[in-house]
Structure 1
Amino acid sequence: MLVITNYARKGGPDKWAPTPSRPERIFELHPRDRDPGSSVYFLRRDDDGVLHEIGSQAFFKRTQGSIEQEILLYLHGFSTTAESAFARAAELQKLMDARFANDPNAKSVEVILLLWPCDEDFGIMKDYWDDQDAADKSGFGFARVLGKFLEWRANRGGDNACYRPINILAHSMGNRVLRFTLDRWTTYEGGMPAIFKNIFMFAADVDNQSLEPGWSGHRITQTARNVIVYFANDDLAMSASKIANTPGNKTISRRLGHTGPEDMAKVPSNVYAIDCDDFNNLYDRPKGHSYFFRTNGVTEGTPGVAFEHMAVTIEGGRVPAGPDRTLILTV
């Protein structure tokens, strides 16, 4: 598995100082430091769980392939340990591989984990506030990754060109990381190229107006062919987030992952809203927050309807939805 992270390295120098890459150096995540730094590491995780640093150039070269092989970047949510993030990325890869093996029309998809440091303090609200801060800070590091990739791609041509379509699955607060990454990039570079095929926003922990013009999340809609918002009204994590993001408890901040876009007429025509109310709690009891594949008991390890919707979108390039760009998914 390929991994990009801004975690502090165990035994490393000051995390705010540039750290030279050393190919094949074993990389250990710092066991206690959860404050994101400016250094970004390009890693390979072997089957034995050992991480090796491979450097950006070797990393990007490994992602090079044909247009029939797609990339899915996975940005995990808040209060997620590194091991949990590795496990979910591996499960996504397993499901994608199974689909490719069983369906001759399916495309090969490589899952790449974008790992950002989450807090593991006791107390869910403290974790939430700490992770919001970490998500915002992580935008700086991942904006650097984007810059490195665009520079690398610009220098490729002919037989060396990079053709693989790139998709993103951002879950929960991972959408906040995505928003700040693109915000940082456009702030310093002045523009944002449309480099993604699909952006899948699951249970997005951002304001439900974020994708409208004038909001910082609007940049997300400018970077992808399709932006697909998956939401559920009975997502308990979104209910808690709505309260946590109410300044002074005066105005309720409705979350995108709770309601979908507030007004579909105000978001660009490449934004789609997918209602997952019918199964989110079936797949993830009791919170109903992690429903991009099944995670409960006997159904663990099998794809769910949201995963199938995402996979069909990746394969066909078109989003299954009605004329109004909305869809209610049912089991």
Structure 2
Amino acid sequence: MIEYTLYYATNRGHIGQDRWRPEGYGCGFSRDGHDNLRFGKVIVPVDEQELQRHLYKKMSTNPTRIGDGENLNRYLCKQAESARIYAIEDLTTISDKNIPEHKNASAEMFREVKQVMEQSHDVLIFIHGFNVSWASAVGMALATEMMLNRVPAKTAHPILMPQQKVRVVLFSWPSDGKVIPWRSYGNDRQEAQLSGEAVGRAMLKLRDFLIRLRLDAKKKEERLCYQSLHLLCHSMGNYVLQNTLGKMTGYITKGNLPRIFENVFMCAPDVDEDVLESGKPLSRLPEICHKVFVYCNRRDKALTISDITKANPDRLGHNGPAHPQNLHHKVNVIDCSDAVGRFKKQDFVEHNYFLWATAIEDIAQTLHDVSDDAEIRQRKRKADSLNIWQLL
């Protein structure tokens, strides 16, 4: 067995007597409040042979597509149930005095993550969707990291440097992790909305840390790593992002929001189809990043159910944006419908397709600065002068 480390932040309530060495995290908020955060790391045991089997499994429908991220996810979810968790002790819980910002648990984890980035690692923050337990969230985050870091299939960029890696940092909100028709979806949506406050606080803490880092670098007290931060939200995690942006906007009333990320990936987003348009909740998303990528799939049964049974408007992750011509120039749309239908016809739900070889490789190429219209991309432009692409 090999042990893998995953850094995390969560506003879930801990399980067990010791909040700094919890047995796990539950499906409710922290008892200190829905915007209270815990930071730490989780150590997951992984069988290397089992890992390699999933990473390099060939799809029977197309042998050139290599990697079974969904079954890797299932395996890692099981392994996460026996993982060791180490929360960083928060001094504000044991002192009635003001704690300096640089001594907060968040700053301590940011410093550890910075040390990882100094080893030529970009960092991708991952926010999961609904019906995801703590162990499932850990498994999905690790599966994402491992699929992004595997030696690419022959379709990938030929000049990628093997030492350039991506480390995933998990934010886990208290999704129910179970399917009880009607109630679970409604509970998760309410908790996702409230969790936006916690993520918003975390983003602003990260902004303050980066500002302080640059100031210290000018005084030669710190050195910059020159790596990039990215954000990937899956399913209802995009609704968390929507409420996060609202929280940040409430704090920053003048000027643009802070540019924190290089790329933001909205995978199977369970939000309204017009949410990125001017005046809508995510219209200011391009302010916090260089580019936005929306991955959608007309075959996504989970979002179809969200449309029909939950009385939601059409979802962005189903048919894509309602009015593509109204999108900011930073926004790119990748339609995965044909690729999903061709390579995974046996999958009924088709909601976690961002972990499939075709989609995850497209994300990896973006992380490695492969141009949007490069020939090696497994995509083609769907319409002239629009940033809308069809995954092949």
TM-score range relative to shorter protein: 0.7 to 0.9
Q: Please tell me whether the aligned partners of residues 67 and 163 of structure 1 are also in contact (alpha carbons under 8 angstroms).
A: no
Residue 147 (str. 1) matches residue 147 (str. 2): no
How far residue 319 of structure 1 moved from its aligned partner, in angstroms, is 3.1
Residue 59 (str. 1) matches residue 109 (str. 2): yes
For structure 1, which segment, 27-36 or 215-224, has the greater mean C-alpha deviation from structure 2 after superposition? 27-36
How far residue 245 of structure 1 moved from its aligned partner, in angstroms, is 4.8
SS of 1:154's partner is helix
- The Cα offsets for residues 62-89 of structure 1, whole Å up to 9 and x where unpaired, read as 1213494211111111001111111111
Q: Which amino acid aligns with 1:59?
A: M
Structure 2-normalised TM-score?
0.72
Q: How does 1:165-204 map to 2 (within 5 A)?
A: 165-190=228-253, 191-204=256-269
Which of 282, 286, 292 is 1:227 aligned to?
292
Q: Number of matched residues?
A: 306
Q: How does 1:275-294 map to 2 (within 5 A)?
A: 275-280=335-340, 282-283=343-344, 285-294=347-356
Aligned partner of 2:160 in structure 1 is 105
Q: Identify the structure with bigger relative contact order (alpha carbons < 8 Å, sequence gap 6+).
A: 2
Residue 260 (str. 1) matches residue 320 (str. 2): yes
- The Cα offsets for residues 251-274 of structure 1, whole Å up to 9 and x where unpaired, read as x61110001111111010011111
How far residue 196 of structure 1 moved from its aligned partner, in angstroms, is 0.9
Q: Which amino acid aligns with 2:321?
A: P
Give the % identical residues.
27
How far residue 124 of structure 1 moved from its aligned partner, in angstroms, is 2.9
Aligned partner of 2:307 in structure 1 is 242
For structure 1, which segment, 271-280 or 133-142, has the greater mean C-alpha deviation from structure 2 after superposition? 271-280
How far residue 92 of structure 1 moved from its aligned partner, in angstroms, is 1.5
Larger Rg: 2
How far residue 163 of structure 1 moved from its aligned partner, in angstroms, is 3.2
Distance 2:336 2:153 in 1: 27
Aligned partner of 1:91 in structure 2 is 143
RMSD in angstroms over aligned alpha carbons?
2.5
Distance 1:169 1:32 in 2: 22
Distance verdict in 2 for CA 1:111–1:134, change over 3 Å: same
Aligned partner of 1:17 in structure 2 is none
Aligned partner of 1:309 in structure 2 is 362
For structure 1, which segment, 58-67 or 261-270, has the greater mean C-alpha deviation from structure 2 after superposition? 58-67
How far residue 160 of structure 1 moved from its aligned partner, in angstroms, is 3.2
How far residue 58 of structure 1 moved from its aligned partner, in angstroms, is 1.8
For structure 1, which segment, 275-284 or 125-134, has the greater mean C-alpha deviation from structure 2 after superposition? 275-284
How far residue 100 of structure 1 moved from its aligned partner, in angstroms, is 7.8
How far residue 219 of structure 1 moved from its aligned partner, in angstroms, is 2.0
Q: Please tell me whether the aligned partners of residues 166 and 196 of structure 1 are also in contact (alpha carbons under 8 angstroms).
A: yes
Q: Please tell me whether the aligned partners of residues 227 and 270 of structure 1 are also in contact (alpha carbons under 8 angstroms).
A: yes
Structure 1-normalised TM-score?
0.85
Aligned partner of 2:38 in structure 1 is 41
Which of 21, 26, 30 is 2:21 aligned to?
26
Q: How does 1:295-306 map to 2 (within 5 A)?
A: 304-306=357-359
More strand per residue: 2
Distance 1:206 1:105 in 2: 34
Aligned partner of 1:326 in structure 2 is 388
Residue 4 (str. 1) matches residue 4 (str. 2): no
SS of 2:338's partner is coil
Distance 1:93 1:120 in 2: 21
- The Cα offsets for residues 221-243 of structure 1, whole Å up to 9 and x where unpaired, read as 22111111110111111111112
How far residue 37 of structure 1 moved from its aligned partner, in angstroms, is 1.6
Residue 205 (str. 1) matches residue 270 (str. 2): yes
Q: Please tell me whether the aligned partners of residues 67 and 164 of structure 1 are also in contact (alpha carbons under 8 angstroms).
A: no
